[in-house]
Amino acid sequence: MWTRRETVVAGLLTILYGASGTCACAPGNARTRPRRGCVLTASEAQPYLAKASDTRVFLTGKEPMIPRSGNRNFDLALARTLSKAASVLEVLPGFAYYEDYDEFNAYATPAVRRDRADGTVLFGGGLLLDLMRGKESPEVSVAAVCAHEFGHIVQFKHDLQKVVQKGQKTARRGELQADFLAGYFAGVRKREKPDFPAAVFAATQSKFGDLDVDSPGHHGTPAERGAAIVKGFEAAYRQKLSLADTIVASTNYVTAI
* Digit-coded pLDDT (tens) for 96-123: 999 998 889 999 999 998 878 999 999 9
State the Cα–Cα distance between residues 245 and 156, nearest whole angstrom: 17
State the Cα–Cα distance between residues 156 and 166, nearest whole angstrom: 15
State the Cα–Cα distance between residues 230 and 106, nearest whole angstrom: 21
pLDDT at 32: 58
**Domain assignment of residue 49, given as a range:** 4-255
pLDDT at 30: 52
Give CA angle at 83 (59, 208), nearest 5°: 145
Closest CA to 180 of 131, 225, 229, 110: 229
Average pLDDT rounded to a whole number, residues 188-216: 91
pLDDT at 138: 87
pLDDT at 106: 95
Average pLDDT rounded to a whole number, residues 217-234: 94
More confident residue, 35 or 67: 67
Average pLDDT rounded to a whole number, residues 191-196: 96
State the Cα–Cα distance between residues 69 and 142, nearest whole angstrom: 11
The single-letter code of the amino acid at 159 is D
State the Cα–Cα distance between residues 144 and 201, nearest whole angstrom: 5
H/E/C letters for each residue in 62-101? Answer: CCCCCCCCCCHHHHHHHHHHHHHHHHHHCCCCEEEEECCC
pLDDT above 70: residue 64: yes
pLDDT at 136: 79
pLDDT in tens, 23-54: 455 444 456 555 567 899 999 999 999 999 99
pLDDT at 22: 38
* Helical axes 9-16 vs 199-207, angle rounded to 10°: 10
Number of domains in the chain: 1
Closest CA to 127 of 94, 95, 97, 96: 97
State the Cα–Cα distance between residues 126 and 97, nearest whole angstrom: 10
Q: Are 180 and 151 in contact (CB under 8 A)?
A: yes
Closest CA to 123 of 136, 133, 108, 135: 108
Average pLDDT rounded to a whole number, residues 56-81: 91
Cα distances from 173 to residues 121, 170, 178, 244, in angstroms, run 19, 8, 9, 19
State the Cα–Cα distance between residues 215 and 253, nearest whole angstrom: 21
More confident residue, 199 or 17: 199
